[in-house]
Amino acid sequence: MRYDKSQSHVQLERNASQVPSVLAFNQTSPDANRFGESFRILFRWRGSIYKFIWKHVLVYYFLFYLLSILHGLLDIERKKTFEALAKYCLKNTNSINLMLMLTFFTTTAMQRLFSIQIMIPGTAKVITFFIMSLKPNMPEGPIIVEQFARWTVLAWILTFRVVCKPLRKMFPDMISLQVAGIIREKERCILERVETEGNKTPRALIVIDWMLLLLKETAIHNRFTEKSNHLKVLDIVMAFKKNCGNIIKFATKNIPYALIQAAIIVVYVYGLVTLMARNFEEAGNSGFLEGIVNYFPVIPSLQFFIFLIWLNFGRTAVNPFGTDDDDIDVKLLFDTHVQDSFRLASLYAQDLEHVFGAMPQKQYNDACSLQNATPVGK
């Protein structure tokens, strides 16, 4: 399988910080038993609340002090109207029940996210089981293995192109997949013709049908080590197909936009209310320090930003395949699956001696092979 990195804009040789095992190590939570380790999280910028809310903080305080300046410029009558509105907002600040709305929204989004994470299909199991089920040293073996592995990766890509915008930008059409060496010209023409004929079957599932036909051909020509291997590989391919179908359903059956809009409106309305919520009477009768505290809305703004962060957490869970820091890196998964397909496909023509040289058990292996090769009557 050819994979043209320059044409597809994908770098297979990423630096060490992008290796999945290194990423998992770097993203592991600090040891809570070590003094001060947990506080390191507070100073992290990537994926942090500071990166998300700093623009909102600037806008919020700009509007707050703009309203304060506006209050100072008003005449007496209009000041009374302004203060009455501010007193009304202060009185009703706690009447907006955000907890119930955000709890329902985030719970729904997180349950959906966890179910999707469990359903994410992998390619390694499908490819490995197929390779290990074939008879060794067949002349046509490497060709069949390459075809099956490439179709598995192609089905995975076509599945995630539906739900992942970054992957869709990487491969905007079938031509880009052909240029990358992931799909052949004849295969591309078949998929494009199927779509023009009005067939509503997702392209990924059509590719999986090709895999099923390849399994059928392999079984007919007796290329499996055992006849039962055909059904075992078939079960794994069907499980892979089911997971791909579930990921596609993820895009077509999203959380209702009305629920997302309701959560956004309620949070930002609360923020607008806290902008006006202030007690001018206490500020006028208190000392200088109390007046400064009254005009610096720490508690109201803190509550608003907590709700805002909570809202963003739910919105991130709604679309986990985007470009946010906390989203699933589908492009990295794609690179991993491509490299795995190359590595696993090469296993068909290899054995332990190719890796380690002569093994201690070689003499026993040779004796066993000789015994198996000896006719029964000799």
Instruction: Tell me, yes or no, whether 142 and 246 share the same domain.
Output: yes
CA dihedral 245, 247, 252, 258 (to 10 degrees): 150
Task: Kindly state whether residue 368 falls inside one of the protein's structural domains.
Answer: no
Instruction: Tell me, yes or no, whether 74 and 213 share the same domain.
Output: no
Residue 39, amino acid: F
The domain of 166 spans 123-254+330-350
Mean pLDDT on 153-159: 94
Chain segment 324-365, per-residue pLDDT in tens:
767 778 888 888 889 999 999 998 988 877 777 777 877 776
42 or 124, which is more confident? 124
Instruction: Tell me, yes or no, whether 130 and 188 share the same domain.
Output: yes
Task: Kindly state whether residue 225 falls inside one of the protein's structural domains.
Answer: yes
Which range of 67-76, 233-242, 262-271 scores highest in mean pLDDT? It is: 233-242
Q: How many domains does the chain have?
A: 2
**pLDDT score, position 311:** 86
Q: Report the alpha-carbon distance of residue 246 to residue 249 in Å, rounded.
A: 5
**pLDDT score, position 83:** 83
Q: What angle do CA 216, 220, 223 make, to 5 degrees?
A: 95
Task: Kindly state whether residue 240 falls inside one of the protein's structural domains.
Answer: yes
Q: Is the pLDDT of residue 38 over 50?
A: yes
Chain segment 202-216, per-residue pLDDT in tens:
899 999 999 999 999
Instruction: Tell me, yes or no, whether 236 and 180 share the same domain.
Output: yes
CA nearest to 90, candidates 370, 235, 299: 299
Mean pLDDT on 301-325: 81
Q: Report the alpha-carbon distance of residue 156 to residue 340 in Å, rounded.
A: 13
Task: Kindly state whether residue 194 falls inside one of the protein's structural domains.
Answer: yes
Instruction: Tell me, yes or no, whether 249 and 261 share the same domain.
Output: no
**pLDDT band for position 199 (cuts 50, 70, 90):** confident
Task: Kindly state whether residue 46 falls inside one of the protein's structural domains.
Answer: no
CA nearest to 131, candidates 214, 244, 242: 214
Q: Report the alpha-carbon distance of residue 298 to residue 207 in Å, rounded.
A: 57
Instruction: Tell me, yes or no, whether 249 and 280 share the same domain.
Output: no
**pLDDT band for position 11 (cuts 50, 70, 90):** very low
Q: Report the alpha-carbon distance of residue 178 to residue 18 in Å, rounded.
A: 26
Instruction: Tell me, yes or no, whether 147 and 64 share the same domain.
Output: no
Task: Kindly state whether residue 79 falls inside one of the protein's structural domains.
Answer: yes
Q: Which residues contact 330 (CB under 8 A, 6 or more apart)?
A: 160, 164, 166, 167, 321
Q: Is the pLDDT of residue 17 over 70?
A: no
CA nearest to 219, candidates 208, 207, 232: 232
Task: Kindly state whether residue 108 falls inside one of the protein's structural domains.
Answer: no
Instruction: Tell me, yes or no, whether 155 and 267 share the same domain.
Output: no
Mean pLDDT on 220-226: 94
Instruction: Tell me, yes or no, whether 236 and 276 share the same domain.
Output: no
Instruction: Tell me, yes or no, whether 243 and 260 share the same domain.
Output: no
pTM: 0.75
Mean pLDDT on 81-85: 86
Residue 68: count of CB within 10 angstroms of its CB: 13
Task: Kindly state whether residue 266 falls inside one of the protein's structural domains.
Answer: yes
Instruction: Tell me, yes or no, whether 244 and 270 share the same domain.
Output: no
Instruction: Tell me, yes or no, whether 242 and 304 share the same domain.
Output: no
CA nearest to 237, candidates 169, 155, 299, 311: 155
Mean pLDDT on 49-73: 86
| Helix (H), strand (E) at residue 188 | helix 185-196
Tokens of 232: 């075992």
